[in-house]
Amino acid sequence: MARPQRTLPEPAAMIVAPQPEPVDVGATVLRAGGNALDATIAAALVQGVVDPLMCGLGGFALLHLAAPDTEPVVYDGLGRVPGSATPDLWADRVLGETSDGFGFIVRDFVNESGPTSVLVPGTLRTLADAHATHGRLPWDDLVRPAIALARAGWLVRPHVATVFTQDERRYGRMDFAEKLALTPDGRRLYLRDDGTPKRLGERVVNPELAEVLDLVARDPNSLYEGELAGVVADAVTRDGGLLTVSDLRSFHTQQCAAMRAGYRGWGVGVPAPPGGGTYLLQALALLERLMPAPPDVRHNDAEHLRLLAEVMKTALRDRDRYAGDPDFPGDPAHAAGTGEAPPDLLDPARLDALADAIRSGQRVRIERLPAGDSRHTTHVSTVDADGMTVALTHTLGNPSGYLPPGTGFMLNGGMSTFDPRPGRANSLAPGKRRLSTMSPTLLFDADDPTRPVGTLGAPGASWIGPGILQVVSNLLDWGMGTQEAVAAPRIAATGDAIDISNRIPTCVEDALTADGYEVRRSPLSYAFAGVHAITAFDGRLRGGADPQRDGYAAGVPADELP
């Protein structure tokens, strides 16, 4: 018997995110006449309600947007170090680096938890600035769904329950259950009467956050120049933190052109440093030089994974040595240890030499402090019927656990990713932007470089670059469909070992081990960042939601749009 033919209408617009509520809200905004940015903003604000350890008003963001007849632009709202911080703030408290490479361990966790760990948040200003230029629907309309959800409550989903109970001590960080208990508001909102985190299916109602969001709906600048700025800064200062009203008032987003390079003839656009784009472009350039065409290599065989791992380690080594805020250009030279200016990481001759070294069998070693990825980030990708394409990654970084009393939202713990040792590429300095692995990425047509054909990004901190790298390769090297590309088994090399997902065959693991690699098998079937993507290679929108999270891709057909 023949299979039934597809009768569902083709989507004219689409949104994908790691949680169901923001996808639902974003699709509703598209049906109401909003563009891709409007849908992304509404979804992001809802994410701040339903994933309170991932993101929210107290976090920071990178937003990458391409629209017809305009140049692609990145809105950089990465968190900044408060003005009163000094490079040696915690120099006498350094204990080491986390084993997964995401942050530094300081005595008593003061760089990652509580008010002392807070950077100037940038998410809300990022969304508001982008909306002022590119939005279509009124700002107030985009905030209302988040207000309603905070007031009515939401159910703890599988991934949220996992995060609430996750063992972070094994990496050298404080457990999240401990952070939820740091403040009275955190205990009331997220813990049960016995002090344990709320469980799968239990409801979280947050009326204080609803009131704050109502204020934000009326004044998107309230956190920076209005009533909310005073409430937040006064609480942080009173409890011993560094954030002040002056820090909030002086915060601004940077709007700049994306970095762009080619891969197999397609265009790849990424955010510039201190965003994570250089890692991705360098890794893609090396992979393009190294990977043989099928059938000389098979997807996820031992040679393919060896090449991937060495590419990842090479790009990570350069990132660790040289990456920092380019507004502080003197710092990277110290990290190199030579006193010389850092190299051009995308210089073709240098890339050729690095590829030759990998081809010859040389192996990169990743040096870390003795003790090495907060996965507490989230992403939205959206495409509308007019071709506007948006990728937004936003985060609390390493969530601080600190909720300013009566506000209902948690502030970031972004100070933990700065090197507490002075004189390094990523050392603390007043006003310095946080170095980020976030890389909201756009793909462009091979024949028409102005036309976006893909938007993707991921939560996953030090796993973000490896995750996006593999999905881009799955799409452009292996010809996978979008959902297949994001769901395919992945690896990560963020240290000397190769971490593999549980769906990598044992014979491949054995071959890598026989070749002298330390291989660590994850118990997770879907591991290493949560990549979410939309593609339009043939003019047809296709979405992919990483199965490790709880979201999905929603398409909206033309007859449901205004």
Q: Say how far residue 453 (Cα) sits from the centre of its chain.
A: 21
User: Which residue, 489, 491, 516, 514, is CA-closest to 503?
Assistant: 489
Confidence (pLDDT) at 410: 97
pLDDT winner (highest mean) among 120-134, 326-340, 370-384: 120-134
Residue 139 DSSP class: H
Residue 12 identity (one-letter amino acid): A
Q: What is the pLDDT confidence band of residue 115, given thresholds at 50, 70 and 90?
A: very high
pLDDT, average across residues 221-241:
96
CA distance linking residue 86 with residue 112, whole number of Å? 16
Q: What is the pLDDT confidence band of residue 367, given thresholds at 50, 70 and 90?
A: low
Q: State what percent of residues in the chain have pLDDT above 70.
A: 95
* Domains of the chain, start order: 11-128+141-251+383-417 (no CATH), 256-372+439-537 (3.60.20)
Q: State what percent of residues in the chain have pLDDT above 90.
A: 77
Q: Both tokens of residue 458?
A: 């991921």
CA distance linking residue 101 with residue 426, whole number of Å? 13
Paired sense of beta strands 73-77 and 94-97, if any: unpaired
pLDDT, average across residues 197-219:
98
Please determine, for residue 340, whether its predicted confidence score (pLDDT) is greater than 60. Answer: no
- Residue 326 to residues 247, 272, 342, 406, 425: CA-CA distances in angstroms? 20, 9, 11, 37, 10
Region for residue 355 given its phi and psi (left: phi exceeds 0; alpha: psi -120 to 50; beta: otherwise): alpha
Confidence (pLDDT) at 103: 76
pLDDT, average across residues 413-441:
89
CA distance linking residue 453 with residue 472, whole number of Å? 12
Q: Say how far residue 195 (Cα) sits from the centre of its chain.
A: 30
In three-state form (DSSP H/G/I as H, E/B as E, the rest C), the secondary structure along 303-365 is HHHHHHHHHHHHHHHHHHHHCCCCCCCCHHHHHHCCCCCCCCCCCHHHHHHHHHHHHCCCCCC
Is residue 482 flagged as an active site residue? no
pLDDT, average across residues 266-271:
97
For the segment 151-185, what is each residue's pLDDT rounded down to a tens digit? 999 999 999 999 898 877 777 788 889 999 999 99
Paired sense of beta strands 498-500 and 519-521, if any: parallel
Q: Both tokens of residue 399?
A: 């969530």
pLDDT winner (highest mean) among 36-40, 104-108, 415-419, 429-433: 36-40
User: Which residue, 6, 38, 7, 46, is CA-closest to 561?
Assistant: 38
- What does the DSSP assignment read for 23-87? HHHHHHHHHTT--HHHHHHHHHHHHHHH-TTT-STBSEEEEEEE-TTS--EEEEE--B--TT--T
Please determine, for residue 335, whether its predicted confidence score (pLDDT) is greater than 50. Answer: no
Helix axes 464-476, 277-290, angle to 10 degrees: 40
Instruction: Check if the beta carbon of residue 100 is closer than 8 Å to that of residue 494.
Output: yes
For 315, half-sphere exposure in the C-beta direction (CA atoms, 13 angstrom radius) is: 28
CA distance linking residue 278 with residue 414, whole number of Å? 21
Which of the following is catalytic: 377, 395, 437, 441? 377
DSSP H or E run through 542: strand 542-545
Residue 240 DSSP class: T
